[in-house]
Amino acid sequence: MSVNVGIPKVDGIGLVMGKPGFTDDLAPADCLIVKVLRSPHPHAKILNINTEKSENLNEIKCILTYKNVDDTNFSRAGQGFPEPSPYDRRILDNIVRYIGDAVAVVAGTTEEAVDLAISMIIVDYEIFDFIIDFEEAKSNKVIVHNNNGTRTMFEIGHKPEINLAAGYEMEIGNVKKSLENCDVVYEGRYYTQAQAHAMTEPHSAVAYIDFQDRLTIITSTQTPFHVRRILGKTLKLPLSKIRVIKPRIGGGYGGKQAIHGEFYVALIALRTNMPAKLIYTRKEVFESSYTRHQMRIDIKIGALKDGTIKVIDMDILSNTGAYGEHALTVLMVAGAKTLPLYNKVDSVGFRGDVVYTNMTPAGAYRGYGAIQGNFALESAMDELAELLDIDPVILRKQNMIKEGETSEIFEIMGEGQEGVAMTVESCKLEECLLKCLEKLDWKNKYPRVEIDEFKVRGVGIALAMQGSGIPYIDMGSSILKLNDDGFFNLLVGATDIGTGSDTILSQMCAETLGLPMDKIIVYSSDTDLTPFDTGAYASSTTYVSGHSVIIAAKKMIKEIERVGAKYFDVEKVEYKEGFIYSDTGKISLAALSTKLFYSDNQEQLVTVGSYVGTKSPPPYMVGGVEVEIDKRTGKVDVLNYVAVVDCGTTINPNLAKIQVEGAILQGIGMTLYEEVNRTSSGQNINNSFLRYNVPTRMEVKKIDVSFAKSYEPSGPFGAKSVGEIGIDTPPAAISNAIKNALGVRITTLPIRPEDVWNKIK
Amino acid sequence: MEVNLIINNTEFTYSAKKNEMLVDTLRKLGYKSVKRGCDKTSCGVCNISLDEKLIPSCSYLTIRANGKRILTVEGIQEEARVIGKYITEEGVEQCGFCSPGHVIAIYCMKNDLLNPTMDEVKHYLAGNMCRCSGFEGQHRAIAKYLEVR
């Protein structure tokens, strides 16, 4: 048995023992050092840029400015094609739109020379007014993208003239009427902040021209195939001239879905014929990559006296910063991955604007709208329960989605387009809820336990759902190649960014072939060697890429049986667990494969599997938390976070558990500690790990993750996704716990000690 | 400035720039287990052992390391495999970028602390950031490792 077994990651021991595997580890020693001159202004026009003095330095080999690069508009979002994000960005532009935007790129043989060259570039700026406050951005007199050729691939509500990157609206039933007919309506306004991904490996890219005169890029990316496509299209290079290699990746969480330094190193390698590398400084990672979308969410939720929820309405304002990467899709997910939780309503309203501001752009980040929407919805559920005088657990139980049910939202709202109708075939929310409450000791702890004069403890819960890939868009594929001695190369386009996808895909392959894991040698991903995969995002790898592996492996069994029959000269043989059986005898795959190469019926066996999801079965989760609050300071400590997850079969229970534990801590970070702080001109002021508060091990008291027994009929071996679901519940669960402890509702993230203290003083 | 470095029991004579940090020197000399993460001693991915003391190499000048004994994960492969066994059995290495710095820290901790409590372990390793794992699995792995060693 290889599936549902917690074996170590195939690359684990190598990584732990420090084997070189990351982008910077693999860079040629003679790489040009590439650095970026960045804008000190939030909004300005470059009137003139003088690089002459810098160019005269011997060590400097290439300088890029807007003057000498193509002015094609594109989206660096790293999505499928056609992209749902606006084409509002250029490789380098003569307009800078946030502090940290790229102005010039310098490549030289030594770091000192590059630093010196950057300091010698003279830029004349015409400084423009800027807009930072996202609630003032729409129709502001400052226009972030003013006649710069920005366009979209299809209708996304893009109106740059009023600072709208995207917009969306939908209504099921009649929201107004349903609200009027409710006995009780709760209305609330919630704010979520920009959060930084804070992956430990900075964005890194290396480029060189190989011995076939082709551009090779090694890059810390979640989407190698999108990098190839976007790079080729924008640089007007045939895709056949580009190879993108994804090595080991030091964390992504969505932050490496988009393109970062790839354009710059590619152009420098092409122009100088020398290898080039750009490793972002930590400051650049914070200031010049992207963050989670800041949002304001207005929610209305109405119910009858008996607790039947009749209507939910969400109105969102989302801040995409200077560029509109993932503007529409993150907005839509805020509704699409939350509203179906309570599916027995008459009416649902959802609308939102995504505005441009002169700040570091927002982009993909684990949870991707769902965490923002969940904060509002699951906080509102507790508030509604209070208004109804019903236990919040009972209110949820009464209204939550159940196995065999559906929600109209599945069909109406997808990611950037319509969704797909779907019946929920696996949903163990009830089991998750019961188990979570039991583990939390809810019975004895709800709503609060006074510890002493100053300290009080409270418990809170939240439900969550996510998806498993984007149906009819996300595609994964695999190639399986039989070697002599009976082992296989499994080549997958799926992008392991530290999640363990190489391992779980190998497990599925080994399970299908009935072989031990050491017979499967997995490799991901290289656009020259591995087949296509959309990449590591949208919780798609286990579900979508997983299916492709099973398809390839099943085809391989047929191929083995075909050559086996030839070998035994019979009509039919049976393959089982590494052996081929016929009526006349048996042969091991190891022996047969060696004969296939060297002596008998010589032939190479290769199979391909590819898969596009036709649905996106949601994983579900109940998160429960016990917090302790010191009323003297407002400090909130998370004593225990209990997560019970329904992700279908856990292909590797250990890795699934760590995915959820890690996601929960990122969610706790967003709830209590993390925020990208900015000055009034949008300058990021906590641009280092010293000042940006990523939770450390000192903040972790107890995270208790377990899984409901669940099987998704449409999933590979019954699996759904697990990468994102874990991050969704902490904001609402902790906000609910604080409410239960102190009787006050905090509606703005992060919930800092001073926010709590101010509410209770 | 010429310095004498003893890295994993091998002596190097190295010409260091005045402002060169040890992380860059070590990476240049091929010790790629030493990662660069933050440049501000706040993530632990550049951790090394210097004269048997755990330090972040991103903020330690190479010229200060003159004559000192440096250990990286490349120099403790046997013990790294043992520590790694417990880490990988929990699946907690995840992306692995912070793992070598974590392993060398655990290695130093074992020498520095006798039978530490989990609270002492947490304090000792507080400077080792991990964004993937949530730390719980690391603590499970360390508890098992300390039991055995």
Is cis: bond before A618, omega within 30 of 0?
no
CA distance A210 to A363: 32
Average pLDDT over residues B87-101: 98
Contacts of A634 (CB under 8 A, 6+ apart): A752, A753, A754, A755, A756, A757, A758, A759, A760
B97–A22 CB contact, under 8 Å: yes
Confidence (pLDDT) at B148: 79
Confidence (pLDDT) at A179: 98
Confidence (pLDDT) at B43: 96
What type of residue sits at position A496?
A: D
What type of residue sits at position A746?
A: I
CA distance A59 to A500: 41
Confidence (pLDDT) at B127: 95
Name the residue in chain B with its Cα closest to that of A26.
B32
CA A219, A220, A225, A231 dihedral sign is negative
Confidence (pLDDT) at A374: 98
**Neighboring chain B residues of A701 at a CB cutoff of 8 Å:** none
Model confidence band, residue A761 (pLDDT cutoffs 50, 70, 90): confident
**Neighboring chain B residues of A698 at a CB cutoff of 8 Å:** 122-123, 126
pLDDT at B67 over 90: yes
Contacts of B8 (CB under 8 A, 6+ apart): B31, B70, B71, B72, B74, B75
- Of A284, A261, A209, the residue nearest A92 (C-alpha): A261
CB-based contact, A642 to chain B, within 8 Å: no
The DSSP-derived string for A126-185 is EEPP----TTS-TT-SS-SS-SS--B-SS-S--BGGGTEEEEEEEEES-HHHHHHH-SEE
Backbone phi and psi for residue A661, each to the nearest 5 degrees, phi listed first: -60, -45
Please tell me the distance in Å from A588's CA to the nearest CA on chain B: 31
pLDDT at B149 over 80: no
- Of A535, A527, A65, the residue nearest A264 (C-alpha): A65
Question: What are A32-76's pLDDT values in tens digits?
Answer: 999 999 999 999 999 999 999 999 999 999 999 999 999 999 999
A198–B74 CB contact, under 8 Å: no
Which residue of B43, B99, B126 is in closest CB contact with A16?
B99
Please tell me the distance in Å from B32's CA to the nearest CA on chain A: 6
CA distance B128 to B56: 10
The DSSP-derived string for chain B is -EEEEEETTEEEEEE--TT-BHHHHHHHTT-TTS--S-SSS-S-TTEEEETTEEEEGGGSBGGGGTT-EEE-GGGGHHHHHHHHHHHHHHTTTTT-SSHHHHHHHHHHHHHH-SS--HHHHHHHTTT---SSS-SHHHHHHHHHHHHH-
Question: What are A729-757's pLDDT values in tens digits?
Answer: 999 999 999 999 999 999 999 999 999 99
> B42 and B50 in contact (C-beta within 8 Å)?
no
Question: What are A462-509's pLDDT values in tens digits?
Answer: 999 999 999 999 999 999 999 999 999 999 999 999 999 999 999 999
Contacts of B78 (CB under 8 A, 6+ apart): none
Contacts of A554 (CB under 8 A, 6+ apart): A512, A609
What type of residue sits at position B20?
A: E
pLDDT at A520 over 80: yes
> A382 and A392 in contact (C-beta within 8 Å)?
yes
Mean pLDDT of chain A: 97
Confidence (pLDDT) at A738: 98
> A738 and A756 in contact (C-beta within 8 Å)?
yes
Question: What are A155-201's pLDDT values in tens digits?
Answer: 999 999 999 999 999 999 999 999 999 999 999 999 999 999 999 99
Question: What are A354-399's pLDDT values in tens digits?
Answer: 999 999 999 999 999 999 999 999 999 999 999 999 999 999 999 9
